[in-house]
Amino acid sequence: MAKSFSAYTLVRGKEPLLRRMLCEVRYEDGQLYLDHCGRLLKRLLKEAPEWVVAPNPTPQATSAYNVRTGTQLAFAMNAASLSLDKTTADDVIGTDELPGFLDQLDTTLDLVLDELEVTEFTRLGYREHYYFPCDNKEESERWLLDLGLVTVAPTLGQAFSATVESVGVAISTQGTDCRYRIGLNTVERSAQVPFGETTLTVQASAVPKGQKKALVEAPR
């Protein structure tokens, strides 16, 4: 079957790549976590066997991983969350994965809130992390400044007899029903070099200049 096509809006010539989604709910009255954690996990595994419980659940928090969808469920006495994270892999979250994530939100978080008998909520948050790939740090800094959201006066660096090393932007707005926060900053992806059963994680900016070419040519 041919893959479906999805439309997206370029941001100054770059495609936004969705790499992480997270929904979190916080509450004040989740004390039953200490008593019902095992029963909650038993219900979860019975209803959906594709969930695998992380080793050694603790009184502080517990996690479970869905081997079919790659999502992670975490819950504790004061919060519960469901996330899908592909930031460490050379992959993106496709539009075909969104309906499944939303379905899991309904089933897993409802299960946690029901089992812990939560009634007093303090926060409901949802985050999406998008990547805009650049070839190097200089290009990413230039792209970020060209958005026009922030300007850096040359006199700032001159005042400290220094050069600006990095730029980040954080914008918080209050809407009618909720608050929105937009954060933009440059992130260097680490090189993942396999060595048998071990993977070496290396940041190119942290190695001598002569090794950077070797990292680019190394197998992934």
pLDDT band at 116 (very low <50, low <70, confident <90, very high): very high
In the chain, at which residue ranges do the beta strands (DSSP E only) sit? Answer: 17-27, 51-53, 61-66, 71-76, 79-85, 121-131, 168-174, 179-185, 191-195, 198-202
Instruction: Name the residue with higher pLDDT: 204 or 68.
Output: 68
| Amino acid identity for residue 80 in this structure | A
Structural domains of the chain, ranges and CATH numbers in brackets: 17-130 (3.30.310), 135-185 (no CATH), 190-220 (no CATH)
pLDDT tens profile 49-90: 999 999 988 999 999 999 999 999 999 999 999 999 998 777
What mean pLDDT do residues 104-114 have? Answer: 95
CA distance 220 to 132: 21
The pTM is what? 0.80
Band of residue 220 on the pLDDT scale cut at 50, 70, 90 = low
Rounded to an integer, the average pLDDT of 168-175 is: 89
